[in-house]
Structure 1
Amino acid sequence: MIAIITHQSREDTTDQALVLLGKLNELALDDQADACEQLHEQAERLYQNLAESLSE
């Protein structure tokens, strides 16, 4: 059950991040879009690390 909730939350976060990146790109806020993309990538790596640690 916990894994399902975590996975659904991760999908929601990914969707929100992609919407935000799209809006920032539309507004020609490239620096902010780049920062958001970097944060998203860091969050993905953190999620993977936590998932691996918890599965051990």
Structure 2
Amino acid sequence: MKKIHLLLTAVALILFSSCYTVHTAGNSGKIPPGQAKKMTGSQSAKPYAPGQQKKY
């Protein structure tokens, strides 16, 4: 019984220690203001900058 308990513990440790998550950059998925300006054809990138957007 003790051997089975040790075996299950060892298997659980191996399974859970191999799990990890991959973290991407904090800004992933967002495009720079200049690129947003080019995509929309706007004359200025100011409305697309994070500090220039109005909060409602």
If the length of structure 1 is used for normalisation, what is the TM-score?
Answer: 0.37
Which protein shows a greater Rg?
Answer: 2
Larger % of helix: which? 1
Which structure exhibits the higher relative contact order, with contacts defined as CA atoms closer than 8 Å and separated by 6 or more residues? Answer: 1
If the length of structure 2 is used for normalisation, what is the TM-score?
Answer: 0.37
